[in-house]
Amino acid sequence: AKKTGDVTELQIGVKHKPATCEVQAHKGDKVKVHYRGKLTDGTVFDSSFERNNPIDFELGSGQVIKGWDQGLLGMCLGEKRKLKIPAKLGYGEQGSPPTIPGGATLIFDTELVGVNDKSLNEEKQNSEL
CB distance 114 to 53 below 8 Å: no
Neighbouring-strand partners of residue 112: 33
CB distance 38 to 110 below 8 Å: no
Which is nearest to 108 in space by CA: 13, 25, 29, 27? 13
Question: Which residue in 12, 46, 55, 57 is the catalytic one?
Answer: 46
Residue 91 known to be catalytic: yes
Question: Which residue in 91, 100, 107, 109 is the catalytic one?
Answer: 91
Question: Which residue in 29, 85, 107, 108 is the catalytic one?
Answer: 108
Residue 65 known to be catalytic: yes
Residue 35 known to be catalytic: yes
* CA quadruple 89, 115, 63, 81: dihedral, nearest 10: -20
Question: Which residue in 65, 85, 100, 107 is the catalytic one?
Answer: 65
Question: Which residue in 6, 12, 45, 55 is the catalytic one?
Answer: 45
Helix (H) or strand (E) holding 71: helix 66-71
Question: Which residue in 35, 69, 85, 107 is the catalytic one?
Answer: 35
Which is nearest to 27 in space by CA: 67, 72, 89? 72
Q: Active-site residue numbers?
A: 35, 45-46, 65, 91, 108
